[in-house]
Amino acid sequence: MEAGGDFLERLRAATSDAAVVTDPDMMAGHLTDWRHMFTGQALAVLRPGSTQEVSRLVRLCAEANVAIVPQGGNTGLAGGATPQGDMPQVVLSLAGMNNIRLVDPVGLCIEVEAGAILQSVRDAAAAEDRLFPVSLAAEGSASIGGIIATNAGGVNVLRYGMTRDLVLGLEVVLADGTVIDALRPLRKDNAARYWKQLFIGSEGVLGIVTAATLRLVSRPLHRSVSLVSVPNVQTALSVFGRAQTVLGDALTAFELMEAAALERVESHFDLTLPVQAGAWYLLIEAGSTLAGLTETVEAMLEDVFEQGWAADGVVASSGAQAEHLWTLREHITEAEAKSGHSVKHDVSLPIVAFPAFLETFRTRLPDVEAEASSNVFGHLGDGNLHVNVLLPEEAGSTGVMRFVHDLVHAHGGSISAEHGLGQYRVAEWERLTSRAEQMLLRRIKMALDPHGILNPGKGLPIKEHKAT
């Protein structure tokens, strides 16, 4: 991996010594992904302190034809922030740009730099009695730039939408170093021609997000969290239908967990399930600024039990119990990581298709890989489940991945609901996406990054990209 001449010296001159990290020990954590599935090479890790520095660094990389891998908290689950391929490249870490510039509780918005950690943004909003609704298990490390670049979902999409629905304004550095400053906190802005949507969910292949203005909402004063066991997924949908009818907008999360997923949590962590065994579990959260929520949820659940849809359940009676129920849910990913080799699938389907999809998945999985076991959980209310499969260490993952993705395709779903394509799913995306759609995206890439220096090998296969 070479960049020629005094490339690194030019970078240092444009920023500072400390912003250009070449020490292998300091770089190591930036070169491997959260799941330790991907490791790459880089000439340096760059840690700019301002948008102007990002712009200068990008210009120098473009001149030297050095690729740039933007990185936030490095919690992505698709290898998008890890260098890939032989092209000389640098990791551009936004971690040093983490200021929260402004919180406006009346205009309901917050302006932050891309490296700000999601948890600190949520805390800053809460300090003004407002809520930034994106919430996910990695929120203590994931950055705002990362959640924008992956269009992250999380547990509150049902009520508040995905990250895309919460971005009002963006500041972006383009592949030639041009800075586009559009941090306007406007809810209505048809003059902007909606270009900002191109960058949301683009996984760093179209531009580098350096700051954003995000939408805040009122903070629900009342909260109700319950855990319910149900016999099958069809019944889970019946409960979902009833919850929507009774709770309406107050329903914020409707999560489904397979029994085996929670058993793994119990066996790897000191956590106990407060509900009697069922085949599936539902974690239901409702929130409202209006009083009477707990009574409404309890009445809804009574009805659910009377219908015979649920076997057992508990409504959290304190904030601590509510946290405990969420802790069980949030430890599933880590329990899976501790359980060995797994193939992750992040699928969305029309929600009513899930019972048939999961039935076929479970029936046919042993034919694909005899010793496979499933670890299914996720955001059923959003039509998004993580249909993960644990395999023996020596087993390859291609067959299982193709099996699941073919099934998703046959049911009219998406193989990347919220985690992105990264380098993990890019070949599958190419296999299952129409040529017309691929061509459209390549044209957009060519227009914004004609030399292919932004995050090569992610989202779009680079060779194909350059050839077209």
Does residue 154 interact with ligand FAD by CB under 6 A? yes
Does residue 75 interact with ligand FAD by CB under 6 A? yes
* DSSP tag of 151: T
Size of the site for ligand FAD (CB under 6 A): 37
Pick one of 8, 57, 114, 389: the residue that binds ligand FAD (CB under 6 A): 114
Q: Which residue is nearest to ligand FAD (CB)?
A: 146
Query: Is the Cβ of residue 379 or residue 403 nearer to ligand FAD in the bound state?
Result: 379
Does residue 251 interact with ligand FAD by CB under 6 A? no
Pick one of 418, 456, 457, 461: the residue that binds ligand FAD (CB under 6 A): 418
Query: Is the Cβ of residue 301 or residue 324 nearer to ligand FAD in the bound state?
Result: 324
User: What is the pairing mode between strands 280-288 and 20-21?
Assistant: unpaired
Nearest distance in Å: CB 311, ligand FAD: 26
The contact mask relative to ligand FAD for 121-150 (x = CB under 6 A, - = no) is: ---------------xxx---xx-xxx-xx
Q: Would you tell me how many other CB atoms lie within 10 Å of the CB of residue 242?
A: 16
Q: What are phi and psi of 19, to 5 degrees?
A: -85, -10
Q: Which two tokens stand for residue 173?
A: 């550095």
Q: Which two tokens stand for residue 262?
A: 């929670």
Pick one of 20, 116, 152, 462: the residue that binds ligand FAD (CB under 6 A): 152
Query: Is the Cβ of residue 137 or residue 237 nearer to ligand FAD in the bound state?
Result: 137
Nearest distance in Å: CB 394, ligand FAD: 25
CB burial of residue 367 (10 Å; 0-12, 13-18, 19+): exposed
Does residue 342 interact with ligand FAD by CB under 6 A? no
Does residue 415 interact with ligand FAD by CB under 6 A? no
From residue 350, give the alpha-carbon distance in Å to each of 38, 232, 384, 405.
31, 17, 9, 15
* Part in contact with ligand FAD (CB under 6 A); list of ranges 43-51, 151-159, 246-254, 285-293: 151-159
3-state DSSP assignment of residue 399: helix
Q: Would you tell me how many other CB atoms lie within 10 Å of the CB of residue 461?
A: 18
Does residue 70 interact with ligand FAD by CB under 6 A? yes
* Part in contact with ligand FAD (CB under 6 A); list of ranges 12-20, 203-211, 276-284, 367-375: 203-211
Radius of gyration of the chain (CA): 23
Query: b vs e for 35-66, b when ≥16 Cβ sit within 10 Å of the residue's Cβ?
Result: bebbebebbbbbbbbebebbbbbbbbbbebeb
Residues 8-47 that bind ligand FAD (CB under 6 A): 34
Q: What are phi and psi of 119, to 5 degrees?
A: -60, -40
Does residue 203 interact with ligand FAD by CB under 6 A? yes
Pick one of 196, 345, 458, 465: the residue that binds ligand FAD (CB under 6 A): 458
From residue 30, give the alpha-carbon distance in Å to each of 90, 93, 418, 439.
10, 8, 22, 32
Does residue 53 interact with ligand FAD by CB under 6 A? no
Nearest distance in Å: CB 145, ligand FAD: 2
Query: Is the Cβ of residue 226 or residue 333 nearer to ligand FAD in the bound state?
Result: 333
DSSP assignments along 69-136, one per residue = EEESSS--SSSTTS--SSS-EEEEE-TT---EEEEETTTTEEEEETT-BHHHHHHHHHHTTEE-----
Pick one of 8, 43, 58, 76: the residue that binds ligand FAD (CB under 6 A): 76
* Part in contact with ligand FAD (CB under 6 A); list of ranges 71-79, 101-109, 182-190, 249-257: 71-79
Distance from CA of residue 336 to its chain's centroid? 17
Query: Is the Cβ of residue 215 or residue 458 nearer to ligand FAD in the bound state?
Result: 458
Query: Is the Cβ of residue 145 or residue 452 nearer to ligand FAD in the bound state?
Result: 145
Query: Are the C-beta atoms of 459 and 67 separated by less than 8 Å?
Result: no
Residue with tokens 């899930």: 354
Residue 282's identity, in one-letter code, is L
Residue 180's identity, in one-letter code, is I
Does residue 71 interact with ligand FAD by CB under 6 A? yes
Pick one of 15, 51, 55, 74: the residue that binds ligand FAD (CB under 6 A): 74
Pick one of 14, 45, 112, 208: the residue that binds ligand FAD (CB under 6 A): 208
Residues 437-456 that bind ligand FAD (CB under 6 A): 455
Residue 446's identity, in one-letter code, is M
User: What is the pairing mode between strands 222-230 and 280-288?
Assistant: antiparallel
* Part in contact with ligand FAD (CB under 6 A); list of ranges 64-72, 239-247, 257-265, 432-440: 64-72
Binding site for ligand FAD (CB under 6 A): 34, 69-77, 80-81, 94, 114, 136-138, 142-143, 145-147, 149-150, 152-154, 203-204, 208-209, 333, 418-419, 422, 455, 458
